[in-house]
Amino acid sequence: MPPVNLLAIPEPEIKVFRRRLLFWFAGNKRDIPWRRTRDAYRIWLSEIMLQQTRVAAVIPYYERFLEKFPTVQTLSRAKMETVLSRWAGLGYYSRARNLHRAAKVIVAKHDGRFPRDYEDTLALPGIGRYTAAAVLSIAYGQPFAALDGNVARVISRLGAVRGDLRAPALWRKLETTTEDLLDQRAPGDWNQAMMELGATICTPKSPRCEECPVAGWCRARKLGIAGELPATRKKRSTVDVTLAAAVLLDPRGRTLLIRQPGGDGALFSNLWQFPAVETTGGESAAGLADHLSEKLGITLNGNFTPLETARHSVTFRNIRLVPFLIRVARLPRLAGSRVVELSRIETLPISNATRKIANSTV
């Protein structure tokens, strides 16, 4: 076996190290729905939902999603809009779109079974090296090491590794180390044990070293620098955005929603939303009226009644939502729009921002 290069753990001790961590995991792992299954579809779904999202937030979405789409076949047959509405509220909607596309590929090319081959798995939309390794090891017991931010943090502390962990050269060393550490006999449990240690004990802030099963091998702890590692990355600076939105309301309590096309970089792409436009703070009503008239051909005589403003964040954007209630005798019919009762918009795929605006009307 090659040396575990970033950790400098003597070769004879590696087996003990693995045993300690696996023993700790067996006795301390959290009881989470996707840990009760070996179904690759369910494990894959959980891994996709867990990207950028905490375990506690994912659980209700995971269960609701599986009620509607219990198998990869049911997911592949569903309309994208239905998939998005089950995903609504979880954010990062490209994950749901890729999941849906990948389900179609699995049914068309792999006989409805999640692939066992690493390259076939990587070829699926929305699946990178980490997700492929996690699903194949947990569902099928294949010896692939999963390296994510949690695992990288644990290794950086065990080995007292300084520097930007996401720098390509250092990330490659972390990958090699993760592969060397992998327990070949229990790769799924091993990967989960490393992640669990990072999620519950070796946490980003204030690691609980006194409870750590592998503290005896930890160089950062010995040096007293566990809390300083890994080095914090420079964050992309946030941008403040003001979004003025029009809640048009007809006498029957119905409103107009439009769907914004665009790639994943677009705000709320492919979700139903109130007509809206980015404005400067003091001119929201005027900017919105111009937008409605020039871009959507909606000329309004009614008053713009300001509703309660709200805050919303999307990746690096801090959005101030400035909604207006505009009562109209009749809603316009536009291509790419739909008329729906305001009280029922939750049945459509909408973003949290749209939900916040709707809440400001009650």
> Does residue 174 belong to the site contacting ligand SF4 (CB under 6 A)?
no
Using H for helix, E for strand and C for coil, what is the string for the chain? CCCCCCCCCCHHHHHHHHHHHHHHHHHHCCCCHHHHCCCHHHHHHHHHHHCCCCHHHHHHHHHHHHHHCCCHHHHHHCCHHHHHHHHCCCCCCHHHHHHHHHHHHHHHHCCCCCCCCHHHHHCCCCCCHHHHHHHHHHHHCCCCCCCCHHHHHHHHHHCCCCCCCCCHHHHHHHHHHHHHHCCCCCHHHHHHHHHHHHHHCCCCCCCCHHHCCCHHHCHHHHHCCHHHCCCCCCCCCCEEEEEEEEEEECCCCEEEEEECCCCCCCCCCCCEECCEEEECHHHHHHHHHHHHHHCCCCCCCCCCEECCCEEEEECCEEEEEEEEEEECCCCCCCCCEEEEEHHHHHHCCECHHHHHHHHCCC
**Residue 201 in the binding site for ligand SF4 (CB under 6 A):** yes
- Out of 158, 194, 285, 342, name the contact with ligand SF4 by CB under 6 A: 158
Nearer to ligand SF4 (CB atom), residue 199 or residue 325: 199
In the bound complex, what is the minimum distance in angstroms from residue 205's beta carbon to ligand SF4? 12
Active-site hit among 47, 179, 228, 283: 47
By beta-carbon proximity to ligand SF4, the closer residue of 216 and 262 is 216
Cβ closer to ligand SF4: 202 or 357? 202
Q: Is 18 a residue that touches ligand SF4 (CB under 6 A)?
A: no
Shortest Å, Cβ 212 to ligand SF4: 3
CB of 209 to ligand SF4, least distance (A): 3
47 is catalytic: yes
* Window of 39-47, 93-101, 208-216, 298-306 that interacts with ligand SF4 by CB under 6 A: 208-216
Interface residue with ligand SF4 among 157, 254, 291, 312 (CB under 6 A) is 157
Residues 6+ apart with CB under 8 A from 208: 201, 202
The residue among 90 and 218 lying less far from ligand SF4, judged by its C-beta, is 218
Number of residues that bind ligand SF4 (CB under 6 A): 14
User: Footprint of ligand SF4 on residues 305-344 (CB under 6 A)?
Assistant: none
Q: Smallest distance, Å, CB 170 to ligand SF4?
A: 18
**Interface pick for ligand SF4 out of 21, 40, 154, 271 (rule CB under 6 A):** 154
Q: Which region, judged by CB under 6 A, interacts with ligand SF4, from 65-73, 210-218, 269-277, 304-312?
A: 210-218
Based on CB atoms, which residue is closest to ligand SF4, 127 or 212? 212
Q: Minimum CB separation from ligand SF4 for residue 9, in Å?
A: 12
Taking the C-alpha atoms of residue 276 and residue 298, their distance in angstroms, rounded to an integer, is 12
Enumerate residues 211-250 that contact ligand SF4 by CB under 6 A: 212, 214-215, 218, 220-221, 226
Contact residue for ligand SF4 among 115, 207, 230, 275 (CB under 6 A)? 207
Residue with tokens 């690691």: 207
Give the Cα-Cα-Cα angle 73, 112, 146 (nearest 5 degrees).
105
Task: Tell me the catalytic residues.
Answer: 47
Residues in the site for ligand SF4, rule: CB under 6 A?
A: 154, 157-158, 201-202, 207, 209, 212, 214-215, 218, 220-221, 226
